[in-house]
Structure 1
């Protein structure tokens, strides 16, 4: 979300005895790109243990950043978190255990939620990765900026910098060609972003046709990947605008702090529960 509106609609459901095929139908039925299934068990007082599973119409994902934010908003509302009270939970997804939390925004119908996405792996792309993906994206040498990377927090994706926001807005990928390239290379998708300002402000678009999402309104885990990359350049706080090309503006924030075990990323955004639907 941005300014209380926009954002990436995500279906959130309590865990149920569904097959994976049935889980893949949920985002289709709800008209969303993703669905997250939530299972809550008792943990420490004030710190429930929550298991998360993420699906698109194409299958299960090991992680989903905006799905995690949506789940935290759902859980906070159900717990009755209000009046500035913080909601906290220990989250479990794809073998990882990590912290998540949300705080209501005063006099607004939404919460600010955040979590720790975990370590990010970064590497230089191979020539064949660039040769297959960049033409499919429509990124030409005159708009490509330095710093292209392959990054992973669960699954690999390509981070592609372009010189300006206008160059980003003008992209018109060949989605069939891009899907074929990503399938061949084992990539989740491509996160194309503008060069950040000195204060860490930038824009991005996420293209992931291989998982049934030609363009994602908001992609938090890719933002975490970018934050880890930019931290090596001394930029430790970023605010990324997404969704404008789809008429659903959102802003994702990420902060990188150094810890004894390495860089620690806090990833967040605003979210609210907009409607409740009983599925057939």
Structure 2
């Protein structure tokens, strides 16, 4: 990929805005679309070109990244009558970074291939911090040669970029990531509440345990937010529930029973019932504090 590449970005949320910003800062022409134009104003001020629909992105860019909310949004953007595959030119590269269904990734790949269009599923991990600092973990499924061509662009937004296998493999890998986080979030929350109840200094406890066997991204990055009462979304509760539901569906298809994941989803479903779907996943701490009054 060279500087003549025109990049499209669909979805300017917590993650998409930073991804588009990094590509823009490296001198690429970036065309953007998102449902709420105000979310893209900062990028437009910096030189990004606004487009009014995915169809307009399809006809103006030759490498298109998407980071939207739910599988149904992915299906609409890629497979709808006004979507990307119906309108992109032959030889266009499509990279879906949304956490979505592995089966949908395979369907997009097959329909793209039929039009001689290249599709990758490339979900990411690292949250808002990883996106801002261009150190996302990127898990990629699709054809290896297509991955190799797009990798220089991935290297502008991530630091841990691994080709996982055929179409859908990126999404399956992201499910492994989310399954790990689901139970870990419960452990992080309970550990910090235990520390407070035991009369310890939770910040000092974090310093001791985050570098030992208990260490994790959630502990180091979200533990301090929990203690500050900072529940702003680096990753929304509503999106985490979506991911867990996808993982449970895929597990059922493979005849797997995942009790830890089921428990985590049940607890996060309770947070939605309490009106916390727009909060960050670390809001679990607030909920557990309420059910464990001092």
TM norm structure 2: 0.24
Q: Which has the larger share of helix?
A: 2
Structure with more contact order per residue of length (Cα contacts < 8 Å, sep ≥ 6): 1
Q: Which has the larger share of strand?
A: 1
TM norm structure 1: 0.25
Which has the higher Rg, Structure 1 or Structure 2? 2
